[in-house]
A = this chain, B = another copy of it.
Amino acid sequence: MSEITRIETTDIADLARGAAILGTGGGGDPYIGQLMALEALRISGPVELVATENLPDDAQILPVAMMGAPTVMVEKLPSVDQFVVAVNALGQYLGVKPTHIACMEAGGVNSTIPIVAAAELGLPLLDGDFMGRAFPELQMVTATLFGIPTTPMSITDDKGNAGIFNTVSNLWAEKLARVVTVEMGAASIISLYPMRGNQAREAAVAGTLSLCVRLGRAVKQARASHADPVAAVAEVLGGRVIHTGKVLDVVRRTTAGFARGKATLAGLDRNDGTTLTLNFQNEHIIATRESTVLATAPDLLICLDIDTGEPITTEAMRFGHRIALIAAPCDSRWHTPEGIELVGPRYFGYDMDPVRWNQVQLPQ
């Protein structure tokens, strides 16, 4: 699946843009992730990208991620050292030396932080992740569907505090790490889901870092050739534009380590006064036009600038922003009953079945 076998400085801008697209509104400011990854590659050289199918059974993979509210990450840049500290804390606790670093999430800074860690540690990086997009909670990964435990996990902050958790379920790992993250200042660096190569081959969503680069390039190339960058993204993801509109209002609140809220978009191409509502918890969860739900998690809801195709995070969304909303299919395993229980609308507090990206017939 991998079309690229290593990540170089020249890939980072495309990769960060693509990661922000898969971030579906969450995942933090892509510019911050881009800066950190560029700096790490300049110092340590390119990072080798390993296709999941090429992982040896006994590979020892230690994923690394940032936990917390993306709205906080914008103001509080993590230090490069902290990623290494989190990985080493888990490795030392387990008594293992990692052979590979991995992303748990394909989205926002959690696609670029592992690049920084891999560069610093001189280790290869898995071309894949365990969501195929971004989700707000630790247990919301394909690894959970395959019975891979979140813990032992490490959790660290910028002051030098560190912890290790062993929990009875992946949901308990989320609960305990969440309150510690909030106390640490609403952002922490974690290393979690330590796993072997055979486990990652089975559970990973393959090729998502390559996909990030492809998505970023598609936007760049469409703009260069005066084509439609929004259509280019929809094509790469196999999705469709379900709304174009101007942002009327965004209500945000940062609670319990999440950025929750609601965005209201007018209809650009319609003069009937109808509006579209996007509910988010770090990521966009539900898109509703009037009383019709157009699409929901676990499928992807992606906001792009209608002219440039640049992804727009929920914290960057402002009144007057002209937005194209893309709905696109998620990894098929999220549509199993176990997947829907983990990341479907009901988990987020919406009493409805999931609506797929192409399920509702749109008016012409």
Cβ–Cβ < 8 Å partners of A160 in chain B: 168
Report Cα–Cα, A180/B165, bound state, in Å: 11
Report Cα–Cα, A338/B13, bound state, in Å: 52
Q: Shortest beta-carbon distance, A7 to chain B, in Å?
A: 32
Report Cα–Cα, A180/B181, bound state, in Å: 10
Report Cα–Cα, A27/B102, bound state, in Å: 46
Q: In the bound complex, do residue B179 and residue A182 qualify as a contact, i.e. CB atoms below 8 Å apart? A: yes
Residues of A near any B CB (own CB < 8 A): 93, 159-168, 172, 175-176, 178-180, 182-184
Cβ–Cβ < 8 Å partners of A168 in chain B: 159-161
Q: In the bound complex, do residue B161 and residue A163 qualify as a contact, i.e. CB atoms below 8 Å apart? A: no
Q: In the bound complex, do residue A176 and residue B180 qualify as a contact, i.e. CB atoms below 8 Å apart? A: yes
Q: Shortest beta-carbon distance, A210 to chain B, in Å?
A: 36
Report Cα–Cα, A167/B184, bound state, in Å: 11
Given contacts A172-B159, A183-B175, A183-B179, contact A164 B164 (CB under 8 A): yes
Contact with A161, one of B161, B167, B178, B182 (Cβ below 8 angstroms) = B167
Nearest residue (CB) in B for A180 is: B176
14 A–B contacts from the bound complex (CB under 8 Å): A93-B93, A161-B167, A162-B165, A162-B167, A163-B163, A163-B164, A164-B164, A176-B180, A176-B183, A176-B184, A178-B183, A179-B180, A179-B182, A179-B183
Report Cα–Cα, A286/B163, bound state, in Å: 35
Report Cα–Cα, A184/B168, bound state, in Å: 12
Contact with A179, one of B93, B167, B179 (Cβ below 8 angstroms) = B179
Nearest residue (CB) in B for A153 is: B163
Nearest residue (CB) in B for A181 is: B179
